[in-house]
Amino acid sequence: MGGGQIFFTLRQRLPEARDDLIAGFRFYERQAPGLGSYFRESILGDIDALAVHGGVHAKVFGYHRSLSKRFPFAIYYRLEANVVRVRAILDCRRNPSWIRRRVRDR
């Protein structure tokens, strides 16, 4: 691997983050058929990008926070050795106090 880049060998979605992804999928699927699938694929693409860009994002509530490219969602994650552990995938339109509690209580 050239250029001094660090590539993370694994991206792991913890059970809570999986539940967040499912909730987002259901929300968008209710808005329009197929939009939920587009949401899911977009978020998973954002998570895959953490293999290259993990750790460059500012920390919020003790976790790195990556903003989704296509939806108003944030991906909260930590780096542990060469693993990106996704803790939460949350709608940025929610009340900041709710987001803080969801991230910290996990």
CA distance 89 to 67: 10
Q: Which fold has domain 10-104?
A: YaeB-like fold (3.30.2310)
* Average of per-residue pLDDT across 89-102: 96
What is the C-alpha end-to-end distance of the chain, expressed in Å?
Answer: 34
List the beta strands (DSSP E) in 1-106: 10-13, 59-60, 63-67, 73-80, 83-91
Please say whether the beta carbons of 56 and 84 come within 8 A: no
Bridge partners for 87 per DSSP: none
pTM of the shown model: 0.87
| 54-65 residue pLDDT tens | 999 999 999 999
pLDDT in tens, 14-55: 888 999 999 999 999 999 999 999 999 999 999 999 988 999
User: What are 57-92's pLDDT values in tens digits?
Assistant: 999 999 999 999 999 999 999 998 888 899 999 999
Domain boundaries defined on the chain: 10-104
Quote the CA–CA distance of 88 and 73 in Å, as a whole number.
10
